[in-house]
Amino acid sequence: MRKRTERKLAVGAVAVVAAVPTALVLIPWDGSGGSQPAAGTAPLGAQAAASDPRPVQQTPGAPSPAQGRMSKLPNAAPTSTGAPTPTSVPTIPPGGGNGGLKNWLPADDGAVVTAAKWANKYQVDLSVKSPALGQTRTVRVLVPSGWKARSTQTYPTVYALHGGNDTYVSWTRSTDIAKVSRQWGVIVVMPEGANGSYTDWYNGGRGGSPRWETFHTAEVRQLVERNLHAGSSRAVIGISSGAQGAVTYAARHPGMYRYAASYSGVLSMLSPGIPALLMYINTRPGTNPTDIWGDPWTARANWAAHDPASLVKRLRGTRLFVSAGNGNKGPLDKPGKAPWDIGYLSETQVLRATGDFVAAAKRSGVPVTTDFYGAGSHSWPYWKREMHKTWPEIMASIGAQRA
């Protein structure tokens, strides 16, 4: 059967874009072979929604935070913390003003904050002039109750990455992360990721802009740590392509994050059919998809260097959580969705790729907490639910205290 899928993409989705015969790119996981999710024994906790009684599983042997440093990988972003103590702290008046930008410290490569717009005393949007991107992009930051500009206190930090066809506003728009995080002494950083696939682009082996990995793991990190009291105890979470980015960053920078969570992410980029799917997804006006990671055959080493399943051994010591639905109509889906809706079709591929990642982790002895919750589409209601399930463990992993 060769049904055609419309060029319509739910916000944040790992979706198939443009009209394409679904049989060519959609290869459902059938519960057999290496794609089968690995079962474990230890529950995550009693956070599951009442509508989803399925247990959350964990492979044995919970890790301690990683202490290792990154070995050389292609297009590796800088990892230097290089976080000097400010000699003059930025004056940041919540509710307005430019945040005393003359006192803000730059990142190592010269990235600077050019504007700081406070929505209230807990949320600020930073305009970051980025050498890595060659342009200015926005980063939304949530600060905890009691946060003060003139303070030496630092806070554990959660980096929350958005999905494709979305922006830095997605987490505060589509979840209650602002309300949830305010109950804890934690900073939440939500950087712009555009459709950059969370990597420094290959560009035919030449490298160069855009360098999204460098922007996120070096420039943004250094700016919030040097100016907004973000600490070195970090977690990274993401949905859809941001979920892939979260686990990739944790693998490429061992020890940078104590916890990494993937909510519906493609975590095995080299599984059969997935390279073609990713190339197809990234075929957009003005974009050559081979510029991102290269050709998946001739530049396979670069693909492997950004593939969570291929890098899984480097995740030993990072607490890992992965979840996905099965692409069937679930309790949080809007009534009237057609069975061939892209939110259902794309989640079948997410489940398959996530299952392959978990199988690779099991073979390598890397513990992973999983929640393969069954019915559900590739959409925010499920990701919000997963965030609520995992939030207590995220806070425990990075040592955040209740406010």
Q: Which long-range contacts (CB under 8 A, 24 or more apart) does 297-306 make?
A: 299/202, 299/205, 300/270, 301/74, 302/74, 302/75, 302/202, 303/269, 303/270, 303/275, 304/270, 305/73, 305/74, 305/75, 305/252, 306/75, 306/199, 306/248, 306/252, 306/269
Q: Does 50 have pLDDT greater than 80?
A: no
**Can you tell me the distance from the alpha carbon of 199 to that of 238, in angstroms, rounded to the nearest whole number?**
14
pLDDT for res 74: 66
Please provide the size of the chain in residues: 403
Note the pLDDT tens digit of each residue in 196-248.
Answer: 999 999 999 999 999 999 999 999 999 999 999 999 999 999 999 999 999 99
**Can you tell me the distance from the alpha carbon of 192 to that of 217, in angstroms, rounded to the nearest whole number?**
12
Average pLDDT of the residues in 322-329: 97
Task: Please give the order of strands across the beta sheet that includes 319-325.
Answer: 57-58, 369-374, 319-325, 259-263, 230-239, 155-161, 187-191, 135-142, 123-130, 112-120
List the structure tokens of 338.
Answer: 């057609």
List the structure tokens of 218.
Answer: 């070096």
Residue 351: which of 379, 372, 381 has the closest Cα? Answer: 372
Average pLDDT of the residues in 314-320: 98
Across 4-13, 93-102, 160-169, which has the greatest mean pLDDT?
A: 160-169
> Cα dist. 199→133, 212, 252, 264 in Å?
11, 5, 11, 18
Q: Does 24 have pLDDT greater than 60?
A: no
Residue 56: which of 66, 41, 71 has the closest Cα? Answer: 41
Give percent helix, percent strand, percent coil of the chain, each to the nearest 5: 30, 20, 55
352 touches 144 (CB < 8 A): no
- Crossing angle of the two packed helices 342-364 and 274-281, in degrees rounded to 10: 130
The residues, ordered by sequence, that sit 6+ positions from 210 with a Cβ below 8 Å of its Cβ are 132, 133, 134, 194, 196, 200, 201
Among the residue ranges 83-97, 172-186, 294-308, the one predicted with the least confidence is 83-97
Note the pLDDT tens digit of each residue in 154-171.
Answer: 999 999 999 998 999 999
**Can you tell me the distance from the alpha carbon of 246 to that of 325, in angstroms, rounded to the nearest whole number?**
19
Residue 12 vs residue 275, higher pLDDT: 275
Give, rounded to a whole angstrom, the gap between the first and last alpha carbons of the chain: 55
**Can you tell me the distance from the alpha carbon of 334 to that of 391, in angstroms, rounded to the nearest whole number?**
25
254 touches 288 (CB < 8 A): no
**Can you tell me the distance from the alpha carbon of 41 to that of 118, in angstroms, rounded to the nearest whole number?**
45
Q: At residue 225, what is the residue type?
A: E
Top-level class of domain 22-398: alpha beta
Cα–Cα–Cα angle for 330, 336, 342, rounded to 5 degrees? 70
198 touches 244 (CB < 8 A): yes
Half-sphere exposure of 257 (CA within 13 A, CB side): 30
Q: What is the dihedral of CA 161, 174, 277, 31, to 10 degrees?
A: 100
Residue 100 vs residue 260, higher pLDDT: 260
pLDDT for res 351: 98
The residues, ordered by sequence, that sit 6+ positions from 243 with a Cβ below 8 Å of its Cβ are 161, 163, 237, 261, 262, 263, 264, 265, 266, 267, 322
Q: At residue 333, what is the residue type?
A: D
Q: Does 103 have pLDDT greater than 90?
A: no
pLDDT for res 151: 87
Among the residue ranges 9-13, 364-368, 372-376, the one predicted with the least confidence is 9-13
Q: Does 268 have pLDDT greater than 90?
A: yes
Q: What percent of the chain has pLDDT over 90?
A: 70
Q: At residue 354, what is the residue type?
A: T
**Can you tell me the distance from the alpha carbon of 136 to that of 280, in angstroms, rounded to the nearest whole number?**
28
Among the residue ranges 141-145, 264-268, 318-322, 335-339, the one predicted with the least confidence is 335-339
317 touches 370 (CB < 8 A): no
Q: How confident is the model at residue 285 (pLDDT cuts 50, 70, 90)?
A: confident
pLDDT for res 286: 85
**Can you tell me the distance from the alpha carbon of 28 to that of 25, in angstroms, rounded to the nearest whole number?**
10
Residue 372's φ and ψ, nearest 5 degrees, are: -90, 90
Among the residue ranges 60-74, 166-180, 363-377, the one predicted with the least confidence is 60-74
Q: Does 63 have pLDDT greater than 80?
A: no
Average pLDDT of the residues in 36-41: 33
> What does the mean pLDDT of the chain come to?
82
Note the pLDDT tens digit of each residue in 106-159.
Answer: 999 999 999 999 999 999 999 999 999 999 999 999 999 999 988 899 999 999
Q: How confident is the model at residue 343 (pLDDT cuts 50, 70, 90)?
A: very high
Average pLDDT of the residues in 171-178: 98
pLDDT for res 21: 30
Q: Does 15 have pLDDT greater than 70?
A: no
Q: What percent of the chain has pLDDT over 70?
A: 75
Alpha carbon of residue 335 to chain centroid: 29
